[in-house]
Amino acid sequence: MSIQREGTHMDLHEASALVIGGGGGFGSATVRRFVQMGAKVIIADMSEEKGDALAAELGNGSRFVKTDVLTEDSVRAAIAAAEQLGPLRACVIVHGGRSAVSRIIGRDGKRYAFELFQMTTNLFLCGTFNVLSLAAEAMARNEPLDSNQRGVIITTASIAGYEGQVGQTDYSAAKGGVIALTLPAARDLAPLGIRVMCIAPGTFLTPAYRMSAEEAQAKWGPMVPNPKRMGRPEEYASLAGEIVANDFLNGETIRIDGAQRFNMK
């Protein structure tokens, strides 16, 4: 019996991609990966310095657009810029942000401020939905490729969304929400030929740790079972590229963590 093979990958040539947080560690590596795959990329970030520098380095028509994930008009402007470069086929949501590390009740007997909890969950969970829904709206206008594919959206969670550490109630709740969003979003968007996937990184060597590479590796590397090191942003980007390329990856969260599991500390 012969098996008819339809298209099995999303071709980014003559297309655009949008990377939210494109000036950061994960984001800039993903931007470079998508450029290698033939896309012109909108580097969406709050940091003009990093975004402009990366766009100038690439020099392929990709550009920086200052973007606030919590503002609908800002995200729409980034999407419109992408559509000027070609049909938006891939969107990666990997923006950063700070959360206040604090127990629900601190040593001083005071509770963790509700406003701070709201701020973290708003940034990481609501911001993700804002971008995802607006990107999907744009992708729905695309002409379908093989297998009715119009685009793919990749969100970013964390292994803290599964086993959060002490002081991570806000961050873990937000990232757990991003994980939980993945399957129903993929089901919602399936009739439109839009896939939704999520990547949950472990400890990666990015500027988020705010310490030197040597210090970060010494602290976090030994906690990873195999290999005994922190992850590299290029490894996140490689996975994002494979998700884009493989049409049968949909509705799932992939941990990329070297088999690391956070303990209570």
**pLDDT by 10s per residue, the chain, length 265:** 334 444 457 889 999 999 999 999 999 999 999 999 999 999 999 999 999 999 999 989 999 999 999 999 999 999 999 999 999 999 999 998 877 789 999 999 999 999 999 999 999 999 999 999 999 999 999 999 988 999 999 999 999 999 999 999 999 999 999 999 999 999 999 999 999 999 999 988 877 666 677 777 777 788 887 988 888 999 999 999 999 999 999 999 999 998 888 876 5
Q: Which two tokens stand for residue 230?
A: 């922190």
DSSP 21: T
> Quick check: 82 and 18 in contact, CB under 8 A?
yes
Identify whether 112 is a catalytic site residue. no
From first CA to last CA, the distance across the chain in angstroms is 55
> Quick check: 247 and 144 in contact, CB under 8 A?
no
According to DSSP, the residues that pair with 109 across neighbouring strands are: none
Among 237, 246, 240, which Cα is nearest to 10's? 246
Q: How many other CB atoms are found less than 10 A from the CB of residue 67?
A: 25
How far is 139 from 153, CA to CA, in rounded Å?
10
Domains of the chain: 16-256 (3.40.50.720)
pTM exceeding the 0.75 threshold for the entire prediction: yes
Among residues 112, 162, 171, 209, the one annotated as catalytic is 171
Distances 232 to 26, 159, 203, 240 between C-alpha atoms, Å: 8, 16, 9, 13
